[in-house]
Amino acid sequence: MKIIFLYYQDPASPVSFPIGVGILSRLLKKEGHTVDGLYIHEDLAQAGVLDDIVSRVKECEADLIAYSCTSPSFNYVKKIASRLRLEISAPSICGGPHATLYPEETLAEIGIDYVCIGEGEKSLVEFVNALTKGEDCSTIPGIWSLNDKKEIVRNRLFPLVQDLDSLPWIDYEVFGERFINQLTADGWLGYISSRGCPYSCNYCHNPMFRKVYSEGIGVPENRMGYVRFRSADSLIEELVTLVRKYDRFFNDKIPKCPQYHIQNQSKGNFLRESWHRF
């Protein structure tokens, strides 16, 4: 199956790489699927922008359109989805923070057929494999949809992935070489070495995510293993490889990994490699 990921970023904001899409792309490729990506960093109100998006998606000839979006970008994503539905019949699925927190609102939009809630490594792969085989996708954990009566079919969530080392390395090339060059123009590339946050700041969506996972998995918040870290050896191996490949520094977007976690477990290979190159 051929999947195209569409990610919209407000042109007033700097270009940033959606880490989740990069991991999902790598997983789907490992399953034998073909993956393409379209990163949209343009004003949809400008003449010809939506037409260009439609043309590029048509050119891809994808069997599935996969949107990933935050709440600030959702109003733009739904414009894109409704426009694509007028000319492209391929099914679509939407994931990301907004779909996770507001699945009912997301499913109500024209052009969005399924919602992937939470971390999609298990749900999306199982969904795409089932869709490829022509099997029923309505009972897959983490996937919500509408039935023939336009009623929401809600499913539980898979337990959170505890072993982050078991996940594949990020596919930074899902949006193409031109995007990589634009993304790394300042010499940096974003990275995440952990998942979850132990804090409950009142201005942050993190408590809302914990509640969604707790209720969806069916376990208390303090028992679901929400905060997780990559092992030092695995983390260093990937970063060294990426530094060599892209000749860039890497900035952890959510640096919650305690210092001792790296210092006590690593042999200094990453530091020696980094300082030698830069």
Whether the CB-CB separation of 71 and 102 falls below 8 Å is answered with: yes
As given in the structure block, the two tokens for residue 176 are: 């193409």
- Distance (Å, rounded) from C-alpha 6 to C-alpha 80? 9
- Please write the tens of the pLDDT for every residue from 236-264: 898 888 888 887 665 665 445 444 344 44
**Whole-number percent of the chain with pLDDT over 90:** 75
The pLDDT score that the predictor gives to residue 244 is 84
Beta-bridged to residue 66, according to DSSP, are 5, 93
Whether the CB-CB separation of 172 and 143 falls below 8 Å is answered with: no
Mean pLDDT highest for which of 96-105, 228-237, 256-265?
A: 96-105
On the question of pLDDT at 5 being above 80, the answer is yes
Mean pLDDT of 220-225: 94
Residue of higher predicted confidence among 155 and 246: 155
- Please write the tens of the pLDDT for every residue from 42-56: 999 999 999 999 999
DSSP one-letter code for 140: S
In this structure, which amino acid lies at residue 79?
K
Please report the domains of the chain, with CATH numbers, ordered by start residue: 2-153 (3.40.50.280), 186-277 (3.30.750)
Mean pLDDT of 105-121: 97
Rounded to 5°, angle at Cα 29 from 130 and 99: 60
**Whole-number percent of the chain with pLDDT over 70:** 89
The pLDDT score that the predictor gives to residue 185 is 77
The pLDDT score that the predictor gives to residue 240 is 87
Q: In what order do the strands lie in the sheet with 34-40?
A: 34-40, 2-8, 64-68, 92-95, 114-116, 143-146, 152-153
- Residue with the two structure tokens 């069997």: 63
As given in the structure block, the two tokens for residue 53 are: 């998006």
**181 confidence band (pLDDT: 50, 70, 90):** confident
Mean of all residue pLDDT scores within the chain: 89
- Distance (Å, rounded) from C-alpha 164 to C-alpha 234? 9
On the question of pLDDT at 114 being above 90, the answer is yes
**178 confidence band (pLDDT: 50, 70, 90):** confident
Nearest one of 71, 103, 107, 102 to 92, comparing CA atoms: 107
On the question of pLDDT at 190 being above 90, the answer is no
Q: Which helix (H) or strand (E) holds 86?
A: helix 71-87
The pLDDT score that the predictor gives to residue 159 is 97
pTM, 2 dp: 0.89
Which range is least confidently modeled, 168-172, 224-228, 248-252?
248-252
Burial (0-12, 13-18, 19+ Cβ within 10 Å), 240: middle
β 152-153/143-146 pair status: antiparallel
